[in-house]
Structure 1
């Protein structure tokens, strides 16, 4: 018989006491902790990202929302431009010099047709209405890219019948638009044409240069005169249709209209009545006349011939007859009032001032004059081939003695002479608001070496002392020079834009009283005793001035006369210039200045053709 043992069995091991199991469990716990840490880091990253996105949304929508909305609109919304009306221009008394009239123009709008070939029938139909070859219309359309939302003008100044015909054509002329726009009007025709200028459609070269300033092909801009130089003031701000486009740039819908802003209205110093009188005096004499207030630099009139009528450029096209007539004239678009020529003996007032102010020649200097003088082996003659005997500065100006000033130039030769020419504005643009103003030439040693590879000689200074040789100046610059003795020693800056603040146009030259005295005495004696006697008439107040006659280069001499009046208290300075007129400054220019002054004082006193009492 087998007995069962009653010894108790050993206690089973705990699973937690098994080393392999503990290792596994520990490993799982570590993995869990790592996952929890990774999850926490992920949550932090997501939170940071969400916070960043939130901040970005706040920045985009709240802080800079307007800016981004504007950018989005700029990509979505386009302006089909319409040119603004240019600003009016008035004369010194408020009379209109340049205005505008409303007319109808016809435009092509490439964006209206998705297929460029659709234009063929349209242009053929339009050609019959506006009497313009289809080839010309295609050429104009080709200026813009296919499907461009800009428009291009193909006809101006449409008749009412043409406007009606286009509007009645309806779908046949889809993409053809008639729009009202203004064209320039110059109510006084040729008067002041070189000052005012004209307008025209910009060329391709101009477009490439101006496109950054919001110019488009087909725009009209100023071409000459203040129309060009003051374009930024006269132009105005464009308006037009605002349209919505899709991603491909096609027009989805017309949103509305943006009003244009008219250009600025400008007032000039020009008196149009005086301007017309001055142009009558100049007549068909190639040259220029400038009338200026010597006290503040206001240009009262400025005439140049040959000239033109700016209204011809406001039409659809210039006729062949008009163009042929212009071609027969010698450079009709050149404003000779601001172009430079040898100033001849009018320049002797600058030489006089330079001599006395240099300290090398006292104001009471007296020099013997001669039939001729020789310097460096070169003979320089007196204009009368005889000389005038002993003369002081005033007498030398009165007789316009060349040999007197040759001797003067011999001692102020060099930097001193150059310094005083610079002070009188020689070789510098006056700053008048005209785009084609020439600076003239103040010749110096460096300039001659560069241009001719030669040294500056004493003979160059001698020629320059009498306004010959290399030195050149414009009629406007000569007027500014004569304003100095007229106003008591101030250099004024000529200007044509009306401004009540004149101090910026006037600065003292700091001339010695004796310098002004001898210049003024000499200029007065010219009128009472020598070449200016044409101005010594009973119907003018006392006049002071100086004639000038350049060398005859084979096709006639240039002639000058510059003067101011009344002598005691000048209010007007006049410079007359005749290009290759022949004769002398006193006989050609003197009567022109006389007649201009007569017109000025007659208009001032509002008593036509009534003699003015002498003062």
Structure 2
């Protein structure tokens, strides 16, 4: 079996048989008794029809030795068993034959010939043909008169069966403005031309140091069977240095270091650097957790995805959007199987399947907003989710610190992989796919529940009790604390000043049973309807809120309340959409569009009243989010600081800082809702740290406006 290829393929010299991995199958689908012809054993011997059926079954078992033993070698095309086995195995396994079906149609006793129809699945699709098998009748029984035409009609011993493959191009991933997030790019392939090496030992040592590669690995590649003196033997793929980056007024330090490394590589006699096409991620770590990356298929992948068009040269999405949209992105290789004569001319096409390139995916993501959020928080363990609060389009999903997907494409060294895994800030952890204690960003939700259920009067003055409070002495040493004293202690002022005590009292008024039921109506305990699977938000570690203290703490987003950031963002959309929470979506297509996930979760007047309090939390000088206010655009939002303690007595716990902010008017030219979280803000300014970072992002996204 020989192959022609239209494009350069990886892993040259590596022999692989998908058929060998999954096994061939065989079935006789029927026997036609034509014109009263019946197949009868002669003297108890195996009939030609039975012999044919057994022979075809052996093809399915890849038992080529058994097939040969059924032939008449003296009168067949192949007298040599090894040549027979090589010819048959190369063709059947090379075309990935499986699901062999045979239907016997007739028997000619004078010719000792069985006529049959055969079909089989191949790498290029199904192939069906009619054929006939002739036999010699000996004292020991019938034997097959074998010739190449029994494999395929018209195939002679001087012909070759060729496979011509056209690899499918993987689809690209674009943001809403057609900026490419994932697609084809160019890298540099570092390799060796053996005949030009002057001192192999020295060259391998230098390459090993410069490429962080084991010298034995390089030596093994040079020792491959296909390597000749003038061959280019690839060793490692590295980033391509852009001349534009080097010509910048302030060249990127990383680009300068890479250029120096490549100059050192080229100084080694026998080393060459050529361009090679790779999957690339232009926004690097800014979108690492979002895009994910692809990897070469493994034997396990091929077994798991048998029949889906993967081969040993394929790549497969390993994480993120690359994995989520794998079926759409991958495409299917084109393939043609044909017979070629001894002069190289094509005699006949046996099976053909056109190439199907992968489908491009366009997202609702705004890559510039994604990059802006990453740039502000890249050093902070945290995450951000951004949406259009009036459509449900997800504009950004950022997790920090991050990783560069391009590093996985080029190949991580053991040192790089260990550094990623051992890094204290956990750059491989996708934080926007976790649940977190929301702190005071949960207060608007509690306010809306109190209004909806009629358990909280927004005009009631809960009274100024100072900066700490407990319901009664049954709480022991436990007090709810707050940062600001103010009057009157009403719902709107409590949102402005972010009063923990007010919302602890509000939760007690609502009651545990009502709060549990209300939160279930808000999607707690159920899966968020979104393309990327997110963990469910929850209000307790058990099925219920178990105590008064836990209930009070839940009122200001602590206790055992845990919320996914995108879920929280979706709930916030209800405040500016008449009480209807929007369904977030990521892929732009003809079916995408504004859709309510939780319609009517709050009455319209309740949503409007809470939104007014959120506006003042940003625009009143006393508001905790005032640092983000603008003169040109009305913003609404809520800050939050959640204490993470090992116990009630813990005084060394960390603090999670939050800021949720949105353009509060539907007519806003660039509507946006951002929910940002930083894991530990205790020593860097609390939630104010997050507010200041998000203000910079908003200024970049909306314009400075000042």
Residue deviations 1:400-429 (CA, integer Å, cap 9, x gap) = 222222222223323421232233333444
Which residue of structure 1 aligns with residue 689 of structure 2? 588
Return the alpha-carbon distance in structure 2 between the equivalents of residues 139 and 497 of structure 1: 47
Which residue of structure 2 aligns with residue 221 of structure 1? 316
Q: CA deviation at 1:389?
A: 4.9
Q: CA deviation at 1:531?
A: 0.9
Unaligned runs of 5+ in 2: 1-32, 40-48, 50-102, 107-115, 131-150, 153-160, 190-207, 226-232, 240-274, 340-347, 646-651
Which residue of structure 2 aligns with residue 420 of structure 1? 518
Return the alpha-carbon distance in structure 1 between the equivalents of residues 688 and 186 of structure 2: 48
Return the alpha-carbon distance in structure 2 between the equivalents of residues 243 and 284 of structure 1: 57
Contact 1:560 1:576 in 2 (8 A): yes
Residue deviations 1:200-248 (CA, integer Å, cap 9, x gap) = 123455444333644445532111210011111111113356478xxxx
Return the alpha-carbon distance in structure 2 between the equivalents of residues 158 and 552 of structure 1: 43
Which residue of structure 2 aligns with residue 572 of structure 1? 672
- Structure 1 residues 140, 556: closer, same or farther in 2, change over 3 A? farther
Which residue of structure 2 aligns with residue 546 of structure 1? 638
Q: CA deviation at 1:310?
A: 1.1
Return the alpha-carbon distance in structure 2 between the equivalents of residues 203 and 419 of structure 1: 47
Alignment of 1:8-407 (within 5 A): 57=105, 70=126, 84-101=168-185, 133=217, 183-211=278-306, 213-217=308-312, 219-240=314-335, 242=337, 259-315=354-410, 317-319=411-413, 322-323=416-417, 325-326=419-420, 327-328=422-423, 330-370=425-465, 371-374=468-471, 377-378=474-475, 380-384=478-482, 388-407=486-505
Unaligned runs of 5+ in 1: 1-44, 59-63, 106-127, 142-152, 160-179, 245-252, 449-454, 603-608
Which residue of structure 2 aligns with residue 458 of structure 1? 548
Q: Which has the higher contact order (CA 8 A, sep 6+)?
A: 1
- Structure 1 residues 569, 408: closer, same or farther in 2, change over 3 A? farther
Return the alpha-carbon distance in structure 1 between the equivalents of residues 129 and 596 of structure 2: 48
Q: Does 1:441 align with 2:531?
A: no
Contact 1:233 1:264 in 2 (8 A): yes
Return the alpha-carbon distance in structure 2 between the equivalents of residues 386 and 277 of structure 1: 33
- Whichever of the two has the greater Rg, that structure is 1
SS in 1 for 2:282: coil
Q: CA deviation at 1:182?
A: 5.3
Q: Does 1:487 align with 2:577?
A: yes
- Structure 1 residues 49, 296: closer, same or farther in 2, change over 3 A? same
- Structure 1 residues 158, 502: closer, same or farther in 2, change over 3 A? closer
1:470 counterpart (532, 537, 560): 560
Q: Give the structure with the higher percent helix.
A: 1
SS in 1 for 2:443: helix
**Pairwise CA RMSD of aligned residues?**
4.3
Q: Give the structure with the higher percent strand.
A: 2
Q: Does 1:597 align with 2:698?
A: yes
SS in 1 for 2:549: helix
- Structure 1 residues 400, 73: closer, same or farther in 2, change over 3 A? farther
Q: CA deviation at 1:329?
A: 5.7
Return the alpha-carbon distance in structure 2 between the equivalents of residues 217 and 378 of structure 1: 65
Return the alpha-carbon distance in structure 2 between the equivalents of residues 354 and 513 of structure 1: 13
Return the alpha-carbon distance in structure 2 between the equivalents of residues 526 and 439 of structure 1: 28
Return the alpha-carbon distance in structure 2 between the equivalents of residues 103 and 302 of structure 1: 27
Which residue of structure 2 aligns with residue 411 of structure 1? 509
The two structures have a TM-score, normalised by structure 2, of: 0.60
Higher mean C-alpha deviation, range 71-80 or range 554-563: 71-80
Which residue of structure 2 aligns with residue 536 of structure 1? 629
Q: CA deviation at 1:355?
A: 1.5
Contact 1:103 1:156 in 2 (8 A): no
Q: CA deviation at 1:534?
A: 0.4
Return the alpha-carbon distance in structure 1 between the equivalents of residues 301 and 594 of structure 2: 36
Return the alpha-carbon distance in structure 1 between the equivalents of residues 223 and 549 of structure 2: 60
